[in-house]
Structures are given as C-alpha cells and as structure tokens.
Amino acid sequence: MTGNIHSIQSLGAVDGPGVRYVVFMQGCPLRCIYCHNPDTWLTEGGTPTDVDELVRKALRFRPYWKNGGGVTVTGGEPLLQAEFVEEFFARLHEHGVHTALDTSGVGNLSKAEKVLAHTDLVLCDLKFLTKANYLKNCRADFDQIERFLQLTAMKNVPLWIRHVVVPGLTDGMDHLRRVKAKAESYPNFEKLEFLPFHKLCMEKYERLGLEFPLKDTPAMNPDALKTMVAQL
C-alpha cells in the first residue's frame, strides 16, 4: 500500500496529545479561505511512500512518545487516502502506538468508518456552523461534516474540535458560544481548541502564484482570543 505524502514533522507538539510524529497527506478537496497549506491542495506533487517504510520511520521517534504522544495524520485531507491511512493506523496499533486523525470530516463515510476502527483520537476542524458559510468559504457540504462527526460518536472515538477564529468573520462572542455548544453536543467530545487566524502562509501563496483571500484581514491577537475564550 502506497500513499502520497506531502511532508512529515518528526516532533510535532500541536496536533494531539504529547509529542507526535505528524504525517501531512497530499491532496484536499476543500478551498477554505484561510487555508494555510495551499501546497497540499493538489493530489499530485507529493512523495509516494510505502506503509512499511512510513511505519519504520515513525517508530524511530517512539522514545519521544512516553507521555501520551504518538502519530497524527493530517493534510491536506487524509480521508482522501483513506485506505492508506487505515492500513498505516492498523500497523501502528500492532505496535501499541496512539493514533490521531486530523480531518475536515469530508470524504467517503464507509471508508472513514474503516479508518476510525484504528483511530484513538479525532481532531476535526469545525470551520463554520451553517451550510451557506461552509459552501461559500470552504466549498464543502456541512451535512457531510455533520455525518462524519456523528459517525465518530457512534464509534465512540474521542473527539477534539478545532475552530479558527478570524477577525470580522468568526470572532463574535455569540458565534464562539455557538461553536462551543455545538462541540459539546457530541457525546464523545473531549476538548475544544480555538485557533487564532494568522498569515504566515502568505509566502506559500505568493510562491504558488495564488492570491490569499484574506490578505487584507488582520491576524487574530492570541492574547485577545484567550480573553474572549475565558468569557465563554
């Protein structure tokens, strides 16, 4: 089984619990207006990698996973290569490794269900709260994301919800409260992460000859966001 890998972060600290080996898959069907990895959009351009090879590479970093760490697969959208992720996670489970899937929730649900059978944690990006906003700002179907989140609950896979807070778009207190309520409505919900919008991706867009849709939007002040979250 071969997957198309965009890149690897050997010692990640923000994509799940503990220190993690983070695999970025190539390819994403969404076009979120604040996406910071436009270089992962196209399905071509990554590095073909065998499951056995990737498992061997990941296990080299096992000494760093003592305090609850493990492996996270993200993207792009990892569920575009669901069969590969399923086999990769299954092999990691044979070695007792904690697995985390960082996803937008799009993709074939029957294939996603097979991935979840070997997934210890789902990190799902809940980008907006309405069908109209998902379609406008991500080119995605909100109903599909909801079905995926319901599937994680049915499979009782622990769930962390992530939400990017963008000034003038998703930074209203009422909106943040509704995001919190939505996250807490899932029985398998464990943690909510509000992520401040930033523009460190601008160089990537320029290199790819793309215009960043939110180039004129100010970055979200992390301290201001912490103050807001404390009021929820």
Q: Averaged in consecutive runs of 10 residues, what is the pLDDT profile of the chain (232 residues)?
A: 96 95 98 95 94 98 93 97 98 98 96 98 97 96 97 98 97 97 98 96 95 96 97 94
CA distance 155 to 120: 11
Residue spans per domain, the chain: 2-230
The amino acid that residue 20 corresponds to is R
pLDDT of residue 45: 87
By the 8 A CB rule, do 198 and 220 touch?
Answer: yes
pLDDT of residue 67: 84
**Segment (H or E) for 48:** strand 47-50
**Which tokens go with 90?**
């299954």
Q: What is the DSSP secondary structure assignment for residue 170, as one 8-state letter? A: T
What is the sign, positive or negative, of the torsion defined by CA atoms of 75, 92, 184, 112?
positive
**Which tokens go with 178?**
């509704």
Structural class in CATH, domain 2-230? alpha beta
Among residues 35, 19, 15, the alpha carbon closest in space to that of 27 is found at 35
CA distance 175 to 103: 22
pLDDT of residue 37: 93
Q: State the pTM of this model.
A: 0.96
Q: Could you tell me which residues are beta bridge partners of residue 74?
A: 24
